[in-house]
């Protein structure tokens, strides 16, 4: 009997129309789909968590545009491999089909020197780069290369798209369709998948493989009983990455330094990138502590810089110090809530006019039009403050900041009330 590929591999979409879960990019009229349908695509970075279809999308793009594609993995490839491919494409010249795509999986693992080796070919159009990454490209891709690429963010699959993928597999897969499979309950399957379609299909295949019967009913009890051991072994290669970082951040938010250090140790022992952990600490310092203890962000930033300078194994001590500090710090999310409220209002109201006194007036014409007229320079007034309007008139008096219970956040609100009186009273 020949080797049968895993279910996730067997169910890879064969065309862009089969591709699911990223409607914001791929539905008719969406930004990336429009570019693909026009036949012109920029070099790009596909950024998203595992199992959302980054690699699949890269192959489908090449197939849709009928372009040759070279594939490298940043884990096993170096500068020499990159240069060999570029040289091969250049040497082919007019005999090479135009628009060669170079796909680099896990491009965040490329060093600066490796990424630098791509610049010339990307800039000259020798190759169209498609890089896939699970990490924020703003941190992991050098600015010179990032400026030459369009970043497309791929999202976790939602429950509906995962269920659609699962039903499609049951109906169309050559192995599964030989059985009668009833999905009685799916919550446990969805929870285990964590939005990762590949993980969902692989675990589903494992569960189905535990049955000898042709008629199979899947419910939460079956999943919990039959998947537990398989999931544990499946996760040894890093599939718990996002679950553990979630437990880590939630333990810090919950002010439990012992649990926080435990989850940190799990990541250290699992070989997690120390910079990834340090970045999450930076986010936590603002999202979960913020103005309740402004020093938390300074501590986290110093931690990030120190980790970059030191590396493993000593970074574990620096990370532990910062983790314990953040977990023990007073908590507040007033800044996080304030920017959320402001963004929501921007989405609802659009681009409201900027008050004339606040506008820049670098030219004579702009001055004649009233740009900058009436602006009060705060430093000319007592206590460096003058009452004036800084919001568009349509939303004047709207308050975005709401203090939490911490003394520092209460101080901020007290200062706002002292300066502005009842203007921003809720």
* pTM for this prediction: 0.57
What pLDDT score does 296 carry?
94
Does 169 lie in the same domain as 106?
no
CA distance 414 to 409: 9
Within-domain flag for 376: yes
**Cβ atoms 315, 307 nearer than 8 A:** yes
Q: Is the pLDDT of residue 373 over 60?
A: yes
**Do 268 and 324 lie in a common domain?**
yes
CATH number of the domain that residue 373 is part of = 1.10.3710
Residues 91/125, Cβ–Cβ less than 8 Å:
no
CATH number at residue 191: 1.10.8
* 287 pLDDT above the threshold of 60: yes
Residue 61 lies in a domain: yes
- Rounded to the nearest 5°, which phi and psi values hold at 128? -100, 115
> Looking at the domain assignment, is residue 384 inside a domain?
yes
Domain assignment of residue 15, yes or no: no
Q: Which of 222, 237, 252 is the last residue of a domain?
A: 237
Give the distance, in angstroms, between the CA of residue 1 and the centroid of all CA atoms in the same chain. Answer: 41
Instruction: With residue 337 as reference, give the H or E element that holds it.
Output: helix 334-349
324 vs 78 pLDDT, higher one: 324
337 domain residue, yes or no: no
Q: Report the CATH number that the domain containing residue 84 is assigned in CATH.
A: 3.40.50.300
104 has a pLDDT exceeding 70: yes
Return the closest-CA partner of residue 318 out of 305, 327, 337.
305
Boundaries of domain holding 405? 351-420
Residue 185 placed within a domain: yes
E strand or H helix at 72, and its extent?
strand 69-73
Domain annotation covers residue 252:
yes
pLDDT tens-place string over residues 248-267: 999 999 998 898 998 898 88
- Structural domain includes residue 216: yes
29 and 105 in a single domain? The answer is yes
Lowest mean pLDDT segment, chosen from 22-26, 64-68, 200-204, 348-352:
348-352
pLDDT at 97 over 60: no
pLDDT at position 93 is 63
Are 209 and 127 members of one domain? no
- My answer on whether 287 and 358 are in the same domain is no
Q: Is the pLDDT of residue 235 over 60?
A: no
Mean of pLDDT values over 276-298? 92
């Amino acid at each position: 009997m020949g080797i049968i590929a895993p279910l996730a591999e067997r169910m890879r979409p064969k065309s862009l129309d089969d591709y699911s879960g990223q409607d914001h990019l791929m539905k008719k009229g969406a930004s990336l789909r429009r570019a693909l349908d026009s036949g012109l695509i920029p070099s790009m970075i596909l950024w998203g968590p595992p199992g959302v279809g980054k690699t699949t999308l890269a192959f489908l793009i090449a197939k849709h545009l009928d372009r040759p594609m070279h594939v490298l993995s940043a884990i096993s490839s170096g500068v020499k491999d990159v240069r060999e491919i570029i040289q091969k494409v250049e040497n082919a010249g007019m005999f090479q089909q135009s628009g060669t795509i170079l796909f680099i999986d896990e491009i965040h693992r490329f060093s600066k020197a490796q990424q630098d080796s791509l610049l010339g070919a990307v800039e000259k159009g020798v190759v169209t780069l498609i890089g896939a990454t699970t990490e924020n490209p703003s941190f992991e891709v050098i600015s010179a290369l990032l400026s030459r690429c369009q970043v497309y963010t791929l999202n976790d699959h939602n429950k509906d798209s995962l269920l659609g993928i699962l039903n499609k597999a049951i109906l169309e897969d050559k192995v599964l369709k030989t059985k009668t499979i009833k999905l009685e309950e799916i919550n446990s399957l969805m929870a285990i998948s964590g939005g990762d379609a590949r993980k969902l299909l692989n675990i589903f295949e494992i569960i189905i493989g535990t049955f000898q019967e042709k008629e199979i009913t899947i419910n939460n009890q079956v999943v919990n009983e039959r998947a537990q051991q398989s999931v544990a072994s499946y996760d040894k290669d890093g599939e718990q990455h996002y679950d553990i970082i979630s437990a880590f951040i939630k333990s810090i938010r919950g002010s439990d330094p012992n649990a926080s250090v435990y989850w940190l140790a799990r990541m250290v022992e699992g070989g997690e990138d120390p910079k990834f952990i340090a970045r999450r600490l930076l986010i936590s310092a603002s999202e979960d502590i913020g103005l309740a203890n402004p020093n938390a962000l300074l501590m986290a930033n110093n931690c990030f810089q120190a980790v970059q300078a030191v590396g493993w194994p000593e970074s574990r001590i620096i990370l532990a110090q910062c983790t314990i500090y953040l977990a023990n710090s007073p908590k507040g999310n007033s800044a996080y809530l304030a920017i959320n409220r402001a963004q929501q209002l921007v989405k609802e109201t659009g681009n409201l006019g900027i008050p004339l006194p606040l506008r820049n007036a670098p030219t004579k014409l702009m001055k004649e039009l009233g740009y900058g007229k009436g602006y009060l320079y705060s430093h000319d007034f007592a206590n460096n403050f003058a009452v004036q309007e800084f919001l568009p008139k349509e939303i004047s008096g709207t308050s975005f900041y709401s203090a939490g219970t911490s003394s520092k956040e209460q101080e901020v609100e007290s200062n706002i009330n002292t300066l502005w009186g009842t203007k921003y009273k809720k």
